Structure 1
Amino acid sequence: MRIVKRTSKYRLITGMERVNNRLTRWALRRGLAPKAFALLETTGRVSGLPRHTPVGNGLSGNTFWLVAAHGEQADYVRNLLREPRVRVKVNRIWRDGTAEALPADDVDARSRALPYRWDAWIGRRMATAPLTIRINLDN
């Protein structure tokens, strides 16, 4: 695995996101969050434990699209690159799938195609190294 240096912009943005992510994760676990959000479960690459990350709801049929604003700087992306089997909780339902990073994908076009555009707009403004992730859902 290659080493990805975290930028100062990444540290600043993620510092601000920390509180929001805790509140959103709490609401998603209880089915109280807006439909614009989903909960991604990855396996910790060091601990092997489940890790939950709030993400924008990119469900489209049996595919879940995700634009990771910080790419491989983000721990959840590092986790799914190590272990691509993930789960996504959308609308109170957990679905299993396999994640795949798509570094050649046009992240701006992809984020504009996501169902909740205001969330994608915010993500584009905060992004440091955006990366498209496709999750092929089992059912």
Structure 2
Amino acid sequence: MARYDEVKFRAITAFQRRVGNPVLRRLPFQTVLETTGRTSGLPRRTPVGGRRVGDSFWLVSEYGEKSQYIRNIKANPTVRVRIRGHWHPGTAHLLPDDDPRARLKTLPRLNSTAVRAFGTGLLTVRVDLTDTRVT
């Protein structure tokens, strides 16, 4: 099973990196998580699905600690989230003790279905947003 998961991970991430993410992150109302590259120091933007709840934004990473944006967060938790076309600065927290499958039930259905179907190492992320909105 581990080999199947690795092949699935490589195929899906290659598609996301080359096709899905470049298209989705350009859509004005797609939610996007911006991290700082842990090696380059450059902004890295990843389309994500999640939901704002009060002053927090919640999402579930489908590949957990294998995801590049999760590795970037571990190196520097300062992030920005574009929600409905507006950027919100915040601090990301990885929550390995949270139940990601239960969390997905509270997040947008379409993205949650894809994360459950394709993901192999689910990890919950909470971004504590500041009240400053950057356009």
Q: TM-score, normalised by structure 2?
A: 0.88
Spell out structure 1 runs of 4+ moving beyond 6 A.
none
Unmatched 5+ stretches in structure 2: none
Q: Which residue of 2 aligns with 1:118?
A: 110
% identical equivalent positions? 44
Deviations 1:15-63 (A, max 9, x none): 2323111110121xxx2x4xxx411100000001111000003211210
Aligned match of 1:129? 121
Partner of 1:7: 6
**Greater shift in the superposed pair: 61-70 or 7-16:** 7-16
The alpha carbon displacement at 1:132 in A equals 0.3
1:1-139 matches, cutoff 5 A: 7-18=6-17, 19-27=19-27, 31=28, 33=29, 37-114=30-107, 116-139=108-131
TM-superposed CA distance for 1:7, in Å, is 2.5
Amino acid aligned to 2:37 = G
- Give the partner amino acid of 1:117: R
Q: Is the 8 A contact 1:68 1:131 kept in 2?
A: yes
- d(CA) in 2 for partners of 1:75 and 1:51? 9
**Normalising by structure 1, what TM-score?**
0.86
- Are the aligned partners of 1:69 and 1:131 in contact in 2 as well (CA < 8 Å)? yes
Displacement of 1:9: 2.0
Deviations 1:65-123 (A, max 9, x none): 01000011111110011100000000111101100100011010001111x11210111
Say which is worse superposed, 13-22 or 87-96, in terms of deviation. 13-22
Tell me how many residue pairs correspond in the alignment.
Answer: 126
